[in-house]
Chain A
């Protein structure tokens, strides 16, 4: 440690808290041997010594909230599972990480898959489930390979299968690869997909906790949520609560990407700010400055350089008018055309709309037409109100949140950058040079 004491408060050592990522740099970090060397599966032993109800209460008391976007308390989700109903219960892990900008679960599963598997066994003990599923998006074969291997290792070591560690818990774990559909990250669409159907969201209620997979009580949790559970059991809920805030306790993975000097994964207590993350990591790329960013993927309303000091926890981001989402901090500098960025996101939502709900299916289509026209300099001023109007007709009016996500970039970009839209219209075209936004724009020698 060479950092002067007075700098301690802003030093990375102080601001960051690697837990899940603590040994990703070790050789074979993904293997059971290395995981056990870092006290892997110790949390499971403690969990198995507790009754399921006590375990649920413990996780609830820890304050752990869902890391997949919505921030719902994980323990409460488990508690909703009816007990003694005579039906099988299922745990389904949502590893369909596809939200634009989101890139935390994939490196986590690549480098440390056993943290998820241990969390799964703990969760299944809590909700009295004997069959769990990992629904992994299909487009990440390197991760699938390691999950296959980790599950094999866990069976061989007695963490999965019959009578786990002599506890009487029988547990099977199935790794299921998706086939390319963003909508399957929505929990009820994921369940339909896992049942071998088109991934289309279900009307709720009934909620998955009552009628989920095969109409049986089902918990659907994000990868990072479940993977965080073993550390809570191992180190204690008070340790977990010593990080973050009262309502947003604990550690989490922040994914910094875009025009920053040092893109990557930063595991920190909840509530760190983008300014702190940029300060410690070298800021924006040299010579440029932040223009807009997303706090949690493209579905969360964008922020600008005015929001650098917003605490990145559920309450802080919410109070500033957006959502913590997946903590996917996509940062764009002043070379980036916001109209181009939003057009591309809108095309994504139109492409990924499952077609079930009319406002989303039709609305995203028309948003794309308007956005493309505006970007190409063929828009009219009245199109801006039309955009907002269509987005308003999608927002909150479909079964699932995909439509809301499609509306977010439209609303927020119009709020902060309306004049840039107007410039595309009055100037009859986009004033930005896309070549200046590229990763190699300031390194001409790369452009070979």
Chain B
């Protein structure tokens, strides 16, 4: 963990007073929802994660009031609920924006441009990681791998996919969000607010007409293998001979791509064409053409 104890909101001072309760009408409504969630499980405690999503859908983050509510519903202590709420990264612990913009900066997305996108957005929005714009619209975060590496670099808004982003497209995206323009994910349904998203996560299906089918059956990258297998796209279109090396490799001579004499050569389990230094990475261009 890289955050300091103060950033994580840990206080070692005086104990806090008990959290204020929800207004009666809110509590009654949430209790009805909570009972429905609890009924899905053989053991009520299993409902804790969905209930934390539920209270997050009420206030936009998990408050002490929300945690007290979960504890009451499940007959747990607030300490037990807090222990869980602080373990999982999707539970926000302070007020945040309507739109959570998460830029994947795990290795593959970072290398493919996620780092540049994240830097651009920080500069463009004037906020740092985990911070919210003054208008309360956008909370910017860097996130870990979101299982869409074939669409890298990926940006998530309220956990909807925005695939194949660039710094420019990401800037336009956050501008649209702040201006209230309609924004369509590349896969999935029209965006809803963070609170509405949290309600779906609590296990209440998205009731908006057409929401399930929006975004089509599959993203383009999901279909490339299928189309090749059907012969719908031409196979073996390796467009560039890879025997001459790239034009833009690092200038430092020590950082050329691995060649036959790099330290791993003797560890190779199999002899492949990599042993031919003229063809280190792949097929001849004309193969299959």
Residue positions of A touching B, CB distance < 8 A = 1-3, 7, 10-13, 16-18, 21-22, 24-31, 88, 97-103, 105-107, 110-111, 131, 137-142, 144-146, 148-149, 152, 174-182, 193-199, 214, 254-259, 261-268, 275, 278-284, 286-291, 298, 304-310, 319-321, 328, 330, 332-336, 340-341, 344-345, 347-348, 350-352, 354, 368, 415-420, 423, 427, 431-442, 446-448
Contact = CB atoms under 8 A, between A and B. Distances in A.
Nearest to A174: B40
Contact of A307 (B229, B251, B269): B269
5 tightest CB-CB pairs across the interface, nearest first?
Answer: A142-B188, A264-B224, A334-B257, A196-B48, A266-B225
A348 B142 CA distance: 12
Contacts of B2: 347, 350-351, 368
Given A141-B188, A340-B107, A341-B111, 16 more contacts: A17-B229, A101-B108, A142-B187, A142-B215, A177-B53, A179-B49, A198-B87, A199-B88, A256-B150, A279-B288, A284-B282, A286-B240, A287-B240, A309-B273, A427-B254, A448-B168
Contact of A255 (B47, B150, B168, B264): B150
A139 B219 CA distance: 17
Nearest to B217: A29
A29 B251 CA distance: 49
A138 B91 CA distance: 11
A255 B149 CA distance: 8
10 contacts: A16-B225, A16-B229, A110-B218, A110-B222, A139-B143, A142-B185, A142-B187, A181-B87, A198-B83, A438-B111
A387 to B, nearest CB: 16
B249 interface: yes
B129 to A, nearest CB: 12
Interface string B45-57: 1111110110000
Taking chain B's interface residues, is the majority helix, strand, or loop, or is none over half, making it mixed?
A: loop
Nearest to A422: B254
A354 B168 CA distance: 36
A25 B248 CA distance: 37
B283 interface: yes
Contact of B111 (A11, A262, A266, A434): A434
A24 B168 contact: no
A25 B226 contact: yes
B272 A107 contact: no
A439 B152 contact: yes
Contact of B144 (A140, A266, A319, A351): A351
A336 B111 contact: yes
Contacts of B263: 415-419
A309 B270 contact: yes
B139 interface: no
B218 A275 contact: no
Given A195-B46, A257-B150, A344 B107 contact: yes
A372 to B, nearest CB: 10
A259 B113 CA distance: 11
B156 interface: yes
A99 B149 CA distance: 11
Contacts of B219: 107, 110
A142 B163 CA distance: 13
B222 A98 contact: no
Nearest to B152: A257
A340 B111 contact: yes
Contacts of A332: 108, 111
Contact of A265 (B105, B202, B215, B222): B222
A196 to B, nearest CB: 4
A25 B217 contact: yes
A437 to B, nearest CB: 5
A44 to B, nearest CB: 22
A24 B49 contact: no
Nearest to A334: B257
